[in-house]
Amino acid sequence: MIAADCSDVTEHPHDDKPRPYLCTVCDKWFRTKGNLKEHKQIHTGKKYTCTQCEKHFATERYMKQHMNLHSSKYMCTECGKCFSTRPDLTVHRRTHSGEKPFECFVCTKRFAKLTDLVRHNRKHSGEKPFVCRTCGKAFSESGTLNAHMRVHTGDKPFKCLLCDKSFRQSHSLHMHKRHVHSNGRSYDCRYCGKLFKSICDLKCHVRIHADAKSYSCSHCSNCFKRLSHLKAHLLKSHDVGNWFICHICGKKFSGNGDLKKHLLRHEDVKSYVCCDCPMCFYTATELKLHRMRHSDIKQFCCGSCSKFFKRKRSMFKHSDRCLSWD
C-alpha cells in the first residue's frame, strides 16, 4: 500500500481496497494522492471563475472543462450539443447511433456506459463495496452511501427556497415542492375530490370508482379496469407473456417494475429517507404512507358521510361500514 505523507490523510484499513487516500474533512476516499489533492480544493473555499460567463467552480480542472463548452471544442455533429470532455461527447454520440458496447455476461443486457455495466453487475454478484464507517452498513452504490451518511450527520443540503425547509435528499425536496407548494393540480375527481395534474392521471384514477371494466380477457370471461391488471391476469392465469424472475430467490413477477422493487430488498437499499425522522424505505410508496403519520392532511373522503381520512385504505374500510349501516 502507498502511504500518505499528508498530515490530514489516513490510509485505508484494508489492503485490497482500491482507494487508499482519505479526505478527513468529508471522509471521501480516492485512488491517488493527486486526486485527493485536487479534491481538497473544494474545502479551501477558493473559487475558479470562467472568463466567458463568470460561472464559479470549486476546482481548476472543472473550470477548464467547462470552458470547452464556450469554445465548442467537443461538439456533436448530429445535434450541435457541446461537451466539456471528449469522453462525454463519445458517450453522447451513442444516443444517436444506439450503440451499446458493454454487455453483461450473466443476462446479456447491454449498456452505453461502462459505469452503468459495473453498477448493473453488482445486482448479480451482490457486491456492496461502499461501507458506512459509522454503522458498518454496506451499499452497492456510492450515491446511496452518501445519502445514508446524512442520517448520521444530520446534514440536510437540499433547501426549499419557498419555505426554507431542508431535506437530506433531492427526491424528498422534489416531493415536498410538489405536494406542498404546487398549485398545478387542477383536475379533481368527482367521486372523492382528489386532485391531479393531468387529465390522463385523472382518467386512470376514475376507473377505481367506475363500474365499467373496459379490458376483457380473450381466454375467459374476466374483465378489468386497467390494462396492467389484464396483463397480470393473462400471465398468472393463462401463462400468456413473460415472467420477470428474481435471480436471487427465484420469485416471479408480472412486471419489471415489481421485480426492481423486490431486488432492493435483497440489496437492502433504502433510498427513500423521511425528511422528518431518520427512517428509510425501499420504495416511494412506503415513504409516502409513512409521511402521512407526520402530516395532518386528510385527502381521502368517504362518499357516504363526507368524513376525511389520511389513508385510502382507511377510507375504503370506513365506506364499507357506512354502506352496511345503510
Is 200 domain-assigned?
Answer: yes
Distance of alpha carbon 244 from alpha carbon 250, whole angstroms: 9
Is 201 domain-assigned?
Answer: yes
Is 76 domain-assigned?
Answer: no
- pLDDT of 326 higher than 50: no
- Higher per-residue pLDDT: 283 or 114: 114
Grid coordinates representing 226 are 386497467
Domain boundary among the residues 212, 245, 271 is at 212
Grid coordinates representing 152 are 448520521
Is 316 domain-assigned?
Answer: yes
Range of 315's domain?
296-326
pLDDT of residue 262: 85
CB contact at 8 A, 111 and 120: yes
Distance of alpha carbon 291 from alpha carbon 167, whole angstroms: 13
* Position 153, amino acid: T
Is 325 domain-assigned?
Answer: yes
Summarize the confidence of residues 202-217 as an average pLDDT. Answer: 72
Is 287 domain-assigned?
Answer: no
Report DSSP letters for 25-66, one per residue: TTTEEESSHHHHHHHTHHHH---EE-TTT--EESSHHHHHHH
Domain boundary among the residues 173, 195, 212 is at 212
Is 145 domain-assigned?
Answer: no
pLDDT of residue 3: 38
Distance of alpha carbon 307 from alpha carbon 250, whole angstroms: 44
How many domains would you assign to the chain?
2
Distance of alpha carbon 108 from alpha carbon 105, whole angstroms: 5
Domain boundary among the residues 212, 227, 247 is at 212
- pLDDT of 10 higher than 60: no
Is 208 domain-assigned?
Answer: yes
Whole-model pTM: value is 0.42
pLDDT of residue 305: 64
pLDDT of residue 274: 80
Determine what percent of the chain is predicted with pLDDT higher than 90.
Answer: 0
Paired with 252 in beta bridges are 245
Distance of alpha carbon 273 from alpha carbon 146, whole angstroms: 12
Using one digit for the tens of pLDDT, what is the confidence trace for 39-76?
887 777 777 788 877 787 878 888 888 888 777 788 88
Q: Rounded mean pLDDT of the chain?
A: 76
- Higher per-residue pLDDT: 261 or 303: 261
Would you place residue 5 in the very low, low, confident or very high pLDDT band (cuts 50, 70, 90)? Answer: very low
- pLDDT of 16 higher than 60: no
Using one digit for the tens of pLDDT, what is the confidence trace for 144-160?
888 888 888 888 888 88
Phi/psi of residue 306, each to 5°? 65, 25
